[in-house]
Amino acid sequence: MEQPPKKSRSQRKLIELNDELENYFSNTIIPQLFVDADMILRKFTPPAMKHFNLSAEDVGRHIDDVSSNIRFPTIIENIEEVIESSKDLEKEIQTTDKRWYQLNILPYIVRKENRTNGVIITFIDINDRIDMLRRYEKLNKRYENIIFSMSHDIKGPLSNIEGLVDALRDMQGEEADTKPVMDMLSQSVRNLRSTVVELSDIGESDTDFAKVPERVNFGNMIEDAKLALKDKIYEAGAQIKAEINVPEIILSRKNVRSIVYNLLSNAVKYRAPDRAPDIFIKTEASGDFILLSVSDNGVGIEDDKKEAIFERHTRLRKDVEGTGMGLFIVKRLAEDTGGKVEVESKLGEGTTFHVCLKGQR
């Protein structure tokens, strides 16, 4: 019987390496995909099969054909970016079952040829962390409002007390028996004013953590806001459509989420009484800026109120729940990036907010 030809040392080494890679992917407990430079899915781990409904038949298919269960509209661009730069990429994505993952795309480098021949995509479940972050952000927002309200509401009465102390001092003159008491009262008022100023400063400085820039996907932020507002959206019968021409921005995730949430919340709350909300969200490039626009068919805004709506605690309608801080926050966050907010509105027909954000794409 003719013996099969012996494999060369390099062939045996290649088979050995392939077996090791197969063994690695078969025994890894986190979802991972191996996609080659032609965007073809070559391997995946068992957890990836479970999470993303993959099957053995998906091996050899284009990655775009098997990504329908992942809200990941920029997958091709991101893989191409990693292959071209040979640098890691990290971002957060949300799957269609509303779970959040930290996604890492790592270059698969062929050392001998010094080239990137594909990528390893890893998914780490961060759903609990995102839920905790949401709760923290909600508490932090309440904290900021309480701090501001305390410092704002105390300043008026405090000024009155200072005036009364000065008036009493003038009336009493320099009488020896009252002077120590008046001095102590004046010092107490000064200490209280100092405390109020410190509270205001703390409220401002505690938001610095939110300014760390990272890659943010607008589609994810819109879906996140819709999820947070789902009961109100359902109650109002709102229809929400989006046109995402610029899918991503490098900016503070918390700030982008807050902008999208507040604009969408306003569009639902200030709806017309005779029709369901029809809301349209759009992103596009505008020079050095990324323009986020939110349009609605709600009650609209009077021309003489278009500036006032961006002030703290401004509410145009007392029958609509809220703190009056939403648009103030949107304006402040946009301006923090070097951008701005503009509003177009016609009373009785609807409103469009244009938020110019300065951040890398």
Q: Which two tokens stand for residue 191?
A: 């200490």
Query: Quick one: DSSP state of residue 108?
Result: E
pTM for the model: 0.56
The residue ranges of every structural domain in the chain are 9-125, 130-206, 212-357
pLDDT surpasses 70 at 198:
no
Strand ranges, E, within the chain: 32-36, 41-44, 70-71, 89-95, 100-110, 115-125, 213-217, 239-244, 248-252, 278-286, 289-296, 340-346, 350-357
Between 66 and 211, name the one with better pLDDT: 66
Q: Which of 52, 57, 56 is nearest to 69 (CA)?
A: 52
Rounded Cα–Cα distance for residues 101 and 96 (Å): 12
The crossing angle, in degrees rounded to 10, of helices 253-269 and 218-228 is: 50
Structurally, what CATH architecture does the domain formed by 9-125 represent? 2-Layer Sandwich (3.30)
Q: Which two tokens stand for residue 43?
A: 């391997």
pLDDT of the residue at 104: 92
The helix (H) or strand (E) run that includes residue 259 is helix 253-269
Q: Which of 27, 61, 63, 58 is nearest to 45 (CA)?
A: 27
pLDDT surpasses 60 at 328:
yes
Confidence band of 2 (pLDDT split at 50, 70, 90): low
Q: Does domain 212-357 have CATH number 3.30.565.10?
A: yes
SS (H, E, C) 25-93: HHHCCCCEEEEECCCEEEEECHHHHHHHCCCHHHCCCEHHHCCCCEECCCHHHHHHHHHHHCCCEEEEE
DSSP reduced 3-state for 245: coil
CB 287 within 8 A of CB 339: no
Mean pLDDT of the chain: 81
List own/partner pairs for 283-290 with CB under 8 A and 24 or more apart: 283/218, 283/243, 283/244, 283/245, 283/246, 283/247, 284/245, 284/246, 285/245, 285/246, 285/361, 286/356, 288/358, 289/339, 289/356, 289/357, 289/358, 290/246, 290/249, 290/356, 290/357, 290/358, 290/359, 290/361
pLDDT surpasses 60 at 4:
no
On the question of a common fold for 9-125 and 212-357, the answer reads no
Q: Which residue is it, tokens 């109002």? A: 236
Q: What is the pLDDT of residues 23-56, one digit of tens each?
A: 777 777 888 899 999 999 988 888 888 777 888 8
First CA to last CA distance, the chain: 65
Q: What is the pLDDT of residues 214-239, one digit of tens each?
A: 889 999 899 888 887 888 898 999 99
